[in-house]
C-alpha cells in the first residue's frame, strides 16, 4: 500500500473490503487509502468490481438486492455503515454516472433541487448557487440564456456536465465518477477533465475509468483491479514507466488484455 505523506490527511480508508452478490464475491479483501484533495483513479477490465466498489462509498449498494459488504470503509474516520442518516452521508458524497441522468425538469431546477431540499429557499441564494455550479462545470456560458428549458433538451455532453453541476450543488467533500466520458465526445471529455483538474483543490475525487490514459492525465495515484482483486496501488506515472511491481499491471496499461 502507498501511504500518504505526513501532511496529507486520509479521506477514505478501505480495510479488508469484500463485496458479494449472493455467494459470489466480486471484490475480495481490498485495502487502500485515498488522500484528501487528490484525484484517485481506479482502472481495470470489465467485471473487476470497480463500479460495485463505488456503490459502497455512499451506500448505493443498499438498493441492490443480494449485495453484501464485509470489511470497512472509513470516511473521515467513520465507517460509512455507521451513519445513522444515510442522506447526510450522501449530501457529502456526489456521484456522476456513466450516462447523463437528467431529471425531468429545467436546467435551473436540476441544479437547485439539492439546495432546496436542504432548506435554501430564497431565489437570490439559489441563483448564486446555480450560476456557481454551472460555471464550475464549464456549462454556464452555454446555458445561461436557457436556464428554464428542459435539461433533457441539452446535448449529451451538456447533460453530462449538468450532472456534474448537480453533484456540485451539494458542496460534496467526495466526488465519485463512474466512466463519466463513456457517452460524450472527445472534446467534451477534455473539457470535463479540465473541470476535474480545477476541482481537485477543493475536494477528493475517486474516478473509475476504462481509459488508462485518462487515469494518467488526471490521477495522482491509481488502483488496478483485476478479477475481483486489488493487484496494486501506486503513483499513476509509475504504471506507465515500468516501475510497477506486478507484471499484470504493466500488461494491462500496455493494452495486452482488457
Kindly report the pTM of this predicted structure.
Answer: 0.90
Domain residue extents for the chain: 10-253
DSSP string across 5-41: PTTS-EEEEEEEEEEEETTEEEEEEEEEEEETT-EEE
Kindly report the average pLDDT of the chain as a whole number: 90
pLDDT tens profile 91-131: 899 999 887 776 789 999 999 999 999 899 999 999 999 99
Angstrom distances, CA of residue 64 to CA of 26, 67, 179: 14, 6, 20
To which residue does cell 435539461 refer? 151
Q: Residue 164 is placed in which grid cell?
A: 456534474
Residue 230, C-beta contacts closer than 8 angstroms, at least 6 positions apart: 30, 31, 32, 223, 224
pLDDT at 244: 74
Distance CA 217, CA 17 (A): 28
Instruction: Please report which residue ranges of 74-152 form alpha helices under DSSP H.
Output: 86-92, 107-117, 123-136, 140-143
Q: Highest mean pLDDT range out of 133-137, 180-184, 242-246?
A: 133-137
Instruction: Please report which residue ranges of the chain form alpha helices under DSSP H.
Output: 50-57, 86-92, 107-117, 123-136, 140-143, 156-168, 186-199, 212-218, 236-240, 247-253
Percent of the chain with pLDDT over 90: 67
> Which of 61-65, 138-142, 214-218 shows the lowest per-residue confidence on average (mean pLDDT)?
61-65
pLDDT tens profile 199-249: 999 999 999 998 999 999 999 999 999 999 999 999 999 988 877 778 999
Contact between residue 110 and residue 80 where contact means Cβ atoms under 8 Å apart:
no
pLDDT at 15: 97
CATH of domain 10-253: 3.40.50.300
Amino acid at each position: 500500500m502507498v501511504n500518504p505523506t505526513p501532511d496529507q490527511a486520509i479521506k477514505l480508508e478501505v480495510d479488508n473490503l469484500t463485496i458479494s452478490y449472493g455467494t459470489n464475491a466480486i471484490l475480495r479483501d481490498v485495502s487502500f487509502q485515498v488522500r484528501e484533495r487528490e484525484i484517485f483513479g481506479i482502472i481495470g477490465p470489465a467485471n473487476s468490481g470497480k463500479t460495485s466498489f463505488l456503490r459502497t462509498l455512499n451506500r448505493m449498494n443498499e438498493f441492490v438486492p443480494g449485495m453484501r459488504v464485509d470489511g470497512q470503509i472509513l470516511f473521515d474516520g467513520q465507517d460509512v455503515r455507521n451513519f445513522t442518516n444515510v442522506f447526510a452521508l450522501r449530501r457529502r458524497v456526489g456521484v456522476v454516472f456513466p450516462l447523463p441522468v437528467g431529471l425531468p425538469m429545467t436546467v435551473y431546477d436540476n441544479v437547485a433541487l439539492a439546495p432546496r431540499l436542504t432548506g435554501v429557499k430564497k431565489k437570490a441564494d439559489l441563483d448564486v448557487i446555480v450560476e456557481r455550479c454551472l460555471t464550475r462545470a464549464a456549462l454556464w456560458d452555454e446555458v445561461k440564456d436557457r436556464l428554464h428549458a428542459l435539461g433533457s433538451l441539452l446535448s449529451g455532453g451538456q447533460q453530462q456536465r449538468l450532472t456534474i453541476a448537480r453533484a456540485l450543488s451539494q458542496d460534496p467533500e467526495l466526488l465519485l465518477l463512474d466512466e463519466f466520458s463513456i457517452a460524450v465526445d472527445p472534446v467534451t471529455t477534455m473539457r470535463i477533465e479540465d473541470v476535474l483538474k480545477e476541482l481537485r483543490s477543493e475536494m477528493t475525487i475517486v474516478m473509475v475509468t476504462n481509459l488508462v490514459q485518462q487515469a494518467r492525465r488526471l490521477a495522482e495515484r491509481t488502483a488496478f483491479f483485476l478479477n475481483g482483486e486489488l493487484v496494486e496501488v501506486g503513483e499513476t506515472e509509475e504504471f506507465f514507466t515500468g516501475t510497477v511491481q506486478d507484471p499484470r499491471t504493466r500488461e494491462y496499461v500496455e493494452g495486452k488484455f482488457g
